[in-house]
Amino acid sequence: MPRRDAISDTADFDPSRRRHAEASERPTRIRVDLGALTHNLHALRRHCGVPVMGIVKANAYGHGLVPVGLHLQAQGVEQLGVAFVEEGIALRQAGVHVPILVMGGIFGPQVARFIVHDLEITVSSLDKLRQVEAAAEALGRKATVHLKIDTGMERIGVHSYSAGPFVEAAAASTWCVVKGVYSHLACADDPALPMTALQLERFLEVCAHFERIGAPMPLRHLANSGGVLHFPDTHLDMVRPGIALYGVLPDPASRPTVALKPALSLVSQVVYFKVVMAGHPVSYGATWAPAHDTRVVTIPIGYGDGYPRALSSRGEVLIRGQRHPIVGRICMDQFMVDIGADGTAYNEDDVVLIGRQGDAAIAGEISCEAVAQAAGTIPYEILTGLNERIPREYCGA
């Protein structure tokens, strides 16, 4: 349908849209509700009763590394966790001063950068411990480290059954201050799986070695989002919620044991309208064609933005509070939606890909979890795949 006059159509006029247009000409945007992050942080802390390490790796799960890091700091988060040293440095340069643990495996030539920027280091082997000691001694500054124990992931870390010498060497180190000891849960997203209990048992046995050798007990942290939600015994001295912090459940088997609020919405706008005749295929490969004449609109976002191509002819969007199917293959920069023979949509109408649309009484919602299920993947991949080509807006600070 033709473009409407947004100024004269006062019932649909939204001042925030005008402000957005001034800030970014692109109609597609990610909206991050910082108030939802605040709610989730406090809800998770109350649920666990211990300090929280907010995980902000992978661009804060698509929400924006620096804005989220600064906001969590303002809300009193005790610690932040990232994957790579570059993420930690970006936070430091933006003014984040709370402790930051880099959880990924370290690369020897980078070690000095950790120490210079006051980043806490994951030490995952005796060799890595020696690398950190050498860099710290060369700089004349002690390094703060967390010991990584492998209790069943087989990713990085010293095996729990052979961790004794590693613990002893770290405790005796002159240049490394052992602040924490941790492991990662492989199956906590599903509360029915027995692996978590076994990993907890292995982890606590390693921690007991500090007592056996008369060394101070470091900060013990084990619970990821699944552990936070389902396994209270894993909460220990600190928890590390990732995806739950952003209001999304980690797995279809996960239980909503904490009342969380999704913080991210993905919104675009209608940019084209046409009538497609019966039998005329839509998009690449001619994989879909309507059985009857129908109305199709085009949305300016695609897999080049990180919106999954797997949602081709499987995903849905909200337009004017109504669900409509994506039809044909999703393109790099746009996709098409069938609004039906009697459907109504105008150019510049908002389109919700993830989030809610409509007033509280009749709002429709497409959750990140539902998008992931339709795409045959996990919510983590949906969120972290949304790339920097999409502008981000923040509200609720």
As to burial, measured by CB atoms within 10 angstroms (0-12 exposed, 13-18 middle, 19+ buried), residue 130 is middle
Q: Which domain holds residue 324?
A: 10-30+263-395
Q: Residue 232's pLDDT is what?
A: 98
Q: Residue 360's pLDDT is what?
A: 55
154 and 210 assigned to the same domain: yes
List 57, 182, 307, 380, catalytic entry: 57
CA separation for the pair 159, 166 (Å, rounded):
10
Instruction: Indicate whether 126 belongs to any domain.
Output: yes
216 and 288 assigned to the same domain: no
Instruction: Indicate whether 73 belongs to any domain.
Output: no
- Per the annotation, the verdict on 261 as an active-site residue is no
Question: pLDDT tens for residues 209-224?
Answer: 999 999 999 999 999 9
Residues lower than pLDDT 70 in the chain: 1-24, 359-363
Instruction: Indicate whether 52 belongs to any domain.
Output: no
pTM of the model: 0.92
CATH number at residue 16: 2.40.37.10
155 and 226 assigned to the same domain: yes
Phi and psi of 182, rounded to 5°?
Answer: -155, 165
Q: Residue 8's pLDDT is what?
A: 27
Q: Of 348, 316, 358, which is closest to residue 335 (Cα–Cα)?
A: 316
Q: Residue 397's pLDDT is what?
A: 77
As to burial, measured by CB atoms within 10 angstroms (0-12 exposed, 13-18 middle, 19+ buried), residue 372 is buried
- Per the annotation, the verdict on 182 as an active-site residue is no
Instruction: Indicate whether 246 belongs to any domain.
Output: no
314 and 357 assigned to the same domain: yes
303 and 191 assigned to the same domain: no
List 261, 284, 346, 394, catalytic entry: 284
Phi and psi of 296, rounded to 5°?
Answer: -125, 135
Instruction: Indicate whether 339 belongs to any domain.
Output: yes
As to burial, measured by CB atoms within 10 angstroms (0-12 exposed, 13-18 middle, 19+ buried), residue 216 is exposed
Instruction: Please say whether the beta carbons of 136 and 142 come within 8 A.
Output: yes
Look at the chain and report how many structural domains it folds into: 2
CA 342 to chain centre: 38
229 and 115 assigned to the same domain: yes
202, 237, 272 — which closes off a domain? 237
Q: Residue 361's pLDDT is what?
A: 55
CATH number at residue 152: 3.20.20.10
Instruction: Indicate whether 37 belongs to any domain.
Output: no
